Structure 1
Amino acid sequence: MSKPIRIHPANSRIFEFRGKPLVLVCATEHYDAVMNRPFDYARYLADAHEKRQTLTRLFMLFREQQSHCNPYSTCKPESPDYVAPYLRVGPGKALDWQPQYDLDCDNPEFYERLHGFLSLASDYGIIVEVVLLSNTYGDNVWMLNPLNAANNMNEIEPIPWMEYNTLRHQKLFERQLAHVRRIVMETNRYDNIIYEICNEPGGNFAGNAHHPSKEEVDDWQKAIARTIREVEADLPNKHLIVGQEAFIYEPWEQCSDLSFGEFCIDVVNMHPLPNTTYGGRGYNMGEFMSKQLRLRELRDYCLATKDEHKPLNLDEDNVASQYKDYDGWTIHRKRAWMTLISGCHYDYIDFSINIYLETGTPASQKHIRTWMKHLSEFVHSIDLAAARPLTDVVKEEPINTVTSALGIPGSDYCIYIADERELTEDGSGEWIAASRLCVDLPEGEYLVRCFDPVSGLYAPALCMRGGAEMWINLPDFRHDLTVRISNISKLIGRREGGSYNGNGYAKCRHGMGVSIEPQL
């Protein structure tokens, strides 16, 4: 077995896995592929591999309830179908009316499914983010947790839900540590995993005397991270720890400066939400299940952190995931492209994937799942170890659009151009016609091509000479378009990605390529 996935030694914003640069990108099921018994994870992983998805998340303990704005999913199994790490032995009843758990008895079915999932994901080269613990959010969700005192026979302290992610209760904390040690020891053999401490940790709830502070929750996270390190100290493999500092409930703020600093994580997971703060500024990246686009704010947050030495994963994007339709999927396609071309990583929950629908629906296969495949193939055709976000290439962008550029100066430039108008604004989704892009390039001869994020095809290429303020006439397009500018001398002896077949480039969705305005 090769060494586990690590931060790339030549580019600290991406990863190296099995000797190759890697960006994490996925439209993934809702993280309970192991714990939801009817879910056929082999079918799901086969499709994820075919779609070139490089990441999936996996909850180790957490399950939740369906709500008015959070669709039914694999994370909400029926109680008889929930496969926990512990055996249900009874005779007493848990709060879901199933037998109580014995926390001293491992559940063989859980570990059989866990190893089956991780082994198959490893065969496919898919990274698995193993999520050890989670926020419990409220009484209704806390009632489902095996570590709730009412759900087991092991004499844990009964606690308010908000004290779960703290060091306040010794018996509970020891059970959390035992769970973490067991999972880490059981999974250390795999090279395709990373560990997340806690999904969505939070503190500082105004007006509630029981609610822990942000600092108290972060102290608990540090203790979990130390335990992971201690367990792995005597094991063959050392894995990356991912996560985020605790957010503040009231007034809402998702801080990230500490996460990028000396906090106990190697990779920063941030859920793209309103008032995500960094460097003294708040970024409104869209409200939960709102069908908002907020593309410029998302781009600006990614670029603001570009000089940090930890990778940034925009994890669990749910801005429009409730809407299993063309508009919702288009929003997530655009946010995924903007995130990756801004030098970060992206995870979107695809709620079309569920039990008995492990590859999604025919519509999601045609749209979001195929679009994400095109994105993964495109971004991995770039020399990622050498590529960086380029903030000085685009001098002027078309009206109503926002752009981002990733590439290697003088060699390869990938410029993503997207309509930034919200669905509620006039003109959203209409054709952007007769538009121009102004770029600065070093001297040299370049090929300029359009790439279509929907069809995954390149349009025919044109040649241009580099220089300051070069104007490129774009084809008419809807929603988004990518322009790739490649130094011809760097292409000699190479065949690039896209649809090049030795005889030219297939036409993209927009039916035509770029044209170059002559310099005066």
Structure 2
Amino acid sequence: MKIHFLTVLFLTWLTGGLWAQPIRLHPDNPHYFSYKGKPTVLITSGEHYGSVLNLDFDFITYLNTLQKDGLNLTRTFTGAYREAPGDFGIEHNTMAPEAGRYSCPWPRSEQAGYALGGNKFDLSRWDEVYFKRLKEFVSAAEQRGIIVELALFCPFYEEKMWTISPMNAANNINTVGKVGRNDVYTLDKNGGLLAFQEALVRKIVTELNGFGNVLFEICNEPYFGGVQMNWQHHIADIIVETEKNLPNQHLITQNIANGSAKIEKPHPAVSVFNFHYATPPKAVPLNYGLNKVIGDNETGFRGMADSTYRKEGWEFLLAGGGLYNNLDYSFTSVTPNGTYKPGAKSPGGGSPALRQQLSYLKAFMADLDFIRMQPDPAIVSGLLPAGVRVHALSEAGKQYALYIYNGNHPKETQSMNVMLNLPAGRYKVTYVEPETGRKQHKKLRHPGGSATLTTPAFGVDLAILLKK
């Protein structure tokens, strides 16, 4: 009996089941993650999703940079969707590899005719070189404590993007995909593509089953390009079915909307509901009752200022979100260390300074026992100046975390009186500057009721931590 148990244990270790222990929802508070036995929030400012599909991108340097910057998430596309140089005005776009440097799950055939040069693709076979690179990337991320959110599919925003897709009939030898770009991700109008999409999901999910640092996202921004909800649910079913008899089961994420929306009839296998450009973070209170992680897993189309994306991350996490990802255009194929300075035509920014600021957010969350906290919109008892927003988490009577955003963007720093509903007690109060990480410590003896905190002088934003 003992030998049998050890044999099972060894086989489990070989297949990754013991060591991988995939990231999951925290059992005591499913608005957050648990990874390697620790409560976890995911925060990053990462590259534009081409780590694997762009052969010129040095993902080791990139992952080393994220690790050095104290961030723990990257988002990556499989390569079933790609872009061309110049799309969206993004300079040195990692999603737009140069000629001959595009890697995707399907190999080239012997028939010429791909829209961007070279041979067409064969959707009935796998490019094992691609899967080797995919697993090397995920493994390197895992070694550095970085979670990979892998977006399986993406709609085609413009006709020119559909014309370069391997799934377009003009670019494959399988006589499938003779459809318009808005019919690709449907159950009934896909021109024979569904079987190949299902096969791709099964292949990727199987290949990555042994890794613990993977989230599977069904489709990036499905609200563009005619993506059917029943198709999304079907893909979720395929993931569940594929992993049913495998050692590990991974979390599935679904992208819901830009901004916010109320989620209706969620698929039971989806554990993370993601929004894009979710500021102010209305999506969190709208969907908090689902008891799942609410994420803001793309932003970065709002200009160059670091403060824009710092603010969005702090607000989203202090509203009760569990995941934040900014698009960082300082990561390119020529500067995988994140030092490129995007030009005036870039849709967004990104910089070492911004990543440092987001690391302060990650450290702030680590100082909280956030598993025991929940959003507390009633913590502020007095009126705030016009243009000022506060988001807060609390564990009543024990710990409170607030983020103050001054939307007036004052040119000079100024203090502010903030009135809070607090029970009686002695509190340690820590003020944190989100831009610099600088801290000031105070003590508060409070008889109960409304307490007035006079903050240090600050500019755009300030965080406050109170512990009894």
TM-score by length of 1: 0.80
**Counterparts in 2 of 1:55 and 1:107: CA distance versus 1, 3 Å:** same
Task: Please list, as runs of the form range in 1=range in 2, the aligned pairs for 1:229-268 lying within 5 A after superposition.
Answer: 229-245=240-256, 255-258=261-264, 261-262=266-267, 264-268=269-273
Give the share of equivalent positions with the same residue, in percent. 29
Q: State the partner residue of 2:190.
A: 169
Matched, 1:332 2:299: no
The Cα of 1:163 is off from its aligned counterpart by 0.3
Q: State the partner residue of 2:419.
A: 438
Q: State the partner residue of 1:207.
A: none
Q: State the partner residue of 2:83.
A: 64
Amino acid at match of 2:457: D
Indicate conservation of the 8 Å contact 1:382/1:407, yes or no. Answer: no
CA distance in 1, matches of 2:63, 2:203: 25
SS in 2 for 1:257: coil
Task: Please list, as runs of the form range in 1=range in 2, the aligned pairs for 1:330-369 lying within 5 A after superposition.
Answer: 330-344=307-321, 345-361=323-339, 365-369=351-355
Comparing 330-339 with 107-116, greater Cα deviation is found at 107-116
Q: Deviations over 1:301-335 (max 9, x none)?
A: 32333333111001211342xx34xxx21100011
Q: State the partner residue of 1:124.
A: 144
Report which structure shows greater RCO (CA 8 Å, sep ≥6): 2
Amino acid at match of 2:81: F
Task: Please list, as runs of the form range in 1=range in 2, the aligned pairs for 1:109-258 lying within 5 A after superposition.
Answer: 109-167=129-187, 168-169=189-190, 171-202=192-223, 217-245=228-256, 255-258=261-264
Indicate conservation of the 8 Å contact 1:397/1:403, yes or no. Answer: no
Comparing 114-123 with 84-93, greater Cα deviation is found at 84-93
Q: State the partner residue of 1:469.
A: 450
- Equivalent residue pairs, number: 437
**Counterparts in 2 of 1:409 and 1:370: CA distance versus 1, 3 Å:** same
CA distance in 1, matches of 2:420, 2:177: 63
SS in 1 for 2:173: coil
Structure 1 segments unaligned to the other structure (5+ residues): 204-210, 274-284, 286-297, 422-427, 488-520
The Cα of 1:147 is off from its aligned counterpart by 1.1
CA distance in 1, matches of 2:355, 2:255: 28
SS in 2 for 1:478: coil
The Cα of 1:138 is off from its aligned counterpart by 2.4
Matched, 1:480 2:461: yes
CA distance in 2, matches of 1:393, 1:67: 45
Q: State the partner residue of 2:360.
A: 374
Indicate conservation of the 8 Å contact 1:398/1:435, yes or no. Answer: no
Amino acid at match of 1:353: F
Over 3 Å off, 4+ runs: 67-72, 252-256, 261-264, 362-366
Matched, 1:383 2:369: yes
CA distance in 1, matches of 2:333, 2:410: 33
Equivalent in 15, 18, 33 of residue 51 of structure 2: 33
CA distance in 2, matches of 1:84, 1:378: 39
Equivalent in 406, 410, 419 of residue 393 of structure 2: 406
How big is the alpha-carbon RMSD for the aligned residues of Structure 1 and Structure 2? 2.1
Q: State the partner residue of 2:344.
A: none
Q: State the partner residue of 1:507.
A: none
Comparing 393-402 with 445-454, greater Cα deviation is found at 393-402
SS in 1 for 2:371: coil
Amino acid at match of 1:460: H
Q: State the partner residue of 2:8.
A: none
**Counterparts in 2 of 1:262 and 1:233: CA distance versus 1, 3 Å:** closer
The Cα of 1:196 is off from its aligned counterpart by 0.6
CA distance in 2, matches of 1:435, 1:254: 30
Indicate conservation of the 8 Å contact 1:434/1:473, yes or no. Answer: yes
Q: Deviations over 1:381-422 (max 9, x none)?
A: 21121121112211136423111111322111111111123x
The Cα of 1:434 is off from its aligned counterpart by 3.8
SS in 2 for 1:81: coil
SS in 2 for 1:26: strand
The Cα of 1:76 is off from its aligned counterpart by 1.6
CA distance in 2, matches of 1:391, 1:218: 33
Equivalent in 12, 16, 24 of residue 6 of structure 1: 24
CA distance in 1, matches of 2:190, 2:320: 41
